Structure 1
Amino acid sequence: MSVTIKDVAKFANVAPSTVSRVIANNPRISDKTKEKVRAAMKELGYHPNFIARSLANQSTQVLGLVTPGSSDVFFQNPFFPTVLRGLSVGAHEKQYALQMVTGQNDEDIYNGVIQMVQGGRVDGVVLLYSKVEDRILTYLRERNFPFVMIGKPYSFVNEITHVDNNNFQASKDAANFLLSLGHTRLAFIGGDVDLVVTVERLKGYKKALEEADIPIRQNYILHQSFLLEGGRTAVCELMELPLHERPTALLVADDLMALGVLNTLNSLGISVPEDLSVLSFNNVLFSEMARPPLSSVDINIYELGYHASKHLIKRIENHDEPFKRVIIEHKIVTRQSTGQA
């Protein structure tokens, strides 16, 4: 025989209505009572019927996640599993589940979002990226559908809740760190130029060079996908320059790309950091296991995801919730891939 709300109420010595409010995470119920009721639910093995509850409340208790472009990038780049872990924890605290939209191209993903939203499958959406041009964002704004963005919006900054790093400052700090080591021939390997994170980091790199009175060389600026192959392709192009024109340091916009850079340099017999310093972004787990261990800008990926889900749930539960910009701190983690020029 299945356990009911009445059984939980009796065990916890509260009213059945209190159990219902705890399941709904009602803010009027004290944390002490919530803990007692949840302990009773766990002890008795009670699991709420969220489908019935959703029908009653006209709520799905589900957050939709929208990935950037091809699913290849999502499933290969360790940035996304880490941000997903933060999203999951934040959602679980409020008893929300996650549903992901992926696809082989932008059209697949756009159609998936329409089906998810118009089919009433989710209460809100997290965009795991920010693009210069994005019809998904336009679609969500036109429908006044709750959503948040991980990254800085290219437009409507004050009308979209977003969780982000100060990518301009982070990139400027990273470039200045390499400049402080004496590297004046500093190249930038960025991601897709349609992504706002690439735009912001390129601006930071350029600003650091400008303030140091170092000319910006266009052949030192390359853009590739956030994958191993992207790093390989970019560094091969740079190494085709005459020896006296090659950069002595690389600022790479993503750790997975940087791993491709390190592997390629090793195969070419170029020593890091003796011949070329490499500084990257994200500080994912394999950064310290790379050979040599990779210096990287830690952008606190987990926190980006955690705060995105928390703020989306706030917007879902209160449509009058003010739009917010949440900035997650960054720091440079130095390892053995960077050295003096």
Structure 2
Amino acid sequence: MGIIAVARLREMEKKAVEKKRTRAKRATSYDVARLAGVSQTTVSFVINGMIAGISEETQARVRDAIAELNFHPHAAARNLARRASHTLGFVIPEAGNPHYYEMIQGAKAYAQQHGYNLNIRITDFQVEEERAALHMLTHQLVDALIFIVWSGNALHSEIHKVLQQDYPIVNITFYDELDTVLMKQASGERQVIEHLAGLGHRRIGYIYGVANPQMSMRLDTCLKTQQEMGIPVDERWISRCGPTLEDGYRACQELLARCVGEERPTALVVVNDLLAHSVYRALHVANIAIPQDISVISFDNTPISAYMTPPLTTVDGEFRRQGELAARLAIERIADPKRPLQHLETHVQLIVRASTGPAPV
């Protein structure tokens, strides 16, 4: 056998070995991003030729990492070809709550910066509407879904099937199998209880939403914090309700009817700023002054909370930032369906205003 033939045979053997190694452990865009010192989004943009605003030096680092890892983005390319809408779906349970608007604004800004539009779907707290939102993804009307799941585990099997097909979903509630963005857990709730305890409140009541995983965990954390601080918990002081203003108003009325005089809570923790509006109204109708007779504290720090009478003490959860992070995770998941799950948290801060004061003597 001639020298040239031997050289060709060795080259073929070498390529076969390299191919076998690649099959055994194929690099992902996560590996490329880590080696190049950039984000997965940047890797995706370089791979797909979307290099506006990316420096030549950064592009070179990404390409060098791709070569060194023998990365072949065939699966990602097929995935992008299958979904060419350049649209992210954003699924919210209602249109009337201002903090969802903040999330949408954050997601929209990030999506547009990266060449994507935003398609908003409102489910009105209905499981069937949430199921229909999944069809937006499986029917390729959107490239990824940012999903606020209100129904808990009702769609668990459907979501699991969708994930097995590598469809990208990002969640802004609780779901271990999905990329997730949340407020930092327990921090806001603890700040609320510590603030009320510092004002001398020992009878703390709650106006809380339906059995949604995030709402249930928030209430459980508040109650646990109370117990740790030696503050009594009384089931009469907890009024669970639906998500609407009317629900909140009725829940507050029912709590006040159950607890009269010295049995009434001196502070109310409300699940969100939207329901705090209806709580204000119910207390006003009952001639109960805020905060002289009862303090009110809430979550969300929506823009209108500063203009209520009195201005509302509330927890800021960086909702615009949540939307931005959710869009980022969605775009990264489109680029690499196999990358590791990410669970991100936003910071929380208690914004103290005039709706909380010392416990009445």
TM-score past 0.5 threshold: yes
Asked if structure 1 preserves the Cα contact closer than 8 Å seen for 2:166 and 2:337, the reply is no
Change (3 A) 1:28 1:173: closer
- 1:151 has 2:173 as partner: yes
Which stretch shifts more, 196-205 or 268-277? 196-205
Asked if structure 1 preserves the Cα contact closer than 8 Å seen for 2:183 and 2:348, the reply is yes
Structure 2: distance between partners of 1:268 and 1:186: 18
The equivalent residue for 2:193 is 175
Change (3 A) 1:131 1:327: farther
Deviation at 1:118, TM superposition (A): 2.8
Q: 1:268 aligns with which of 267, 286, 297?
A: 286
The equivalent residue for 2:239 is 222
Change (3 A) 1:58 1:175: closer
The equivalent residue for 2:329 is 311
Structure 1: distance between partners of 2:332 and 2:47: 17
- 1:340 has 2:358 as partner: yes
Classify the secondary structure of the residue corresponding to 1:75: coil
Structure 2: distance between partners of 1:55 and 1:169: 39
Q: 2:253 aligns with which of 215, 236, 242?
A: 236
Classify the secondary structure of the residue corresponding to 1:188: strand
Q: 2:121 aligns with which of 96, 101, 118?
A: 101
Question: Mapping of 1:78-97 within 5 angstroms?
Answer: 78-97=98-117
TM-score (norm 1): 0.79
Q: Deviations over 1:141-173 (max 9, x none)?
A: 2433111111232xxx2x321000124331122
Structure 2: distance between partners of 1:24 and 1:264: 58
Deviation at 1:28, TM superposition (A): 9.4
Identity of matched residues, %: 28
- 1:288 has 2:306 as partner: yes
- 1:257 has 2:275 as partner: yes
Deviation at 1:205, TM superposition (A): 0.9
Structure 1: distance between partners of 2:189 and 2:138: 39
Structure 2: distance between partners of 1:93 and 1:31: 19
The equivalent residue for 1:196 is 213
Larger Rg: 2
Gaps of 5+ in 2: 1-44, 60-78
Structure 2: distance between partners of 1:317 and 1:258: 41
Classify the secondary structure of the residue corresponding to 2:226: helix
Deviation at 1:96, TM superposition (A): 0.5
Which stretch shifts more, 273-282 or 138-147? 138-147
**How many residues are treated as equivalent by the alignment?**
292
Asked if structure 1 preserves the Cα contact closer than 8 Å seen for 2:138 and 2:167, the reply is no
Classify the secondary structure of the residue corresponding to 1:126: strand
Structure 1: distance between partners of 2:80 and 2:261: 67
Asked if structure 1 preserves the Cα contact closer than 8 Å seen for 2:167 and 2:337, the reply is no
Structure 2: distance between partners of 1:64 and 1:163: 16
Deviation at 1:239, TM superposition (A): 1.1
The equivalent residue for 1:137 is 159
Deviation at 1:285, TM superposition (A): 0.6
Change (3 A) 1:22 1:93: farther
Structure 2: distance between partners of 1:26 and 1:151: 33
Deviation at 1:237, TM superposition (A): 1.1
Q: Deviations over 1:177-222 (max 9, x none)?
A: 11111100001211111x1221221121111211122232111112
Change (3 A) 1:207 1:27: farther
Structure 1: distance between partners of 2:235 and 2:326: 35
Question: Mapping of 1:43-62 within 5 angstroms?
Answer: 58-62=83-87
TM-score (norm 2): 0.75
Pairwise CA RMSD of aligned residues? 2.6
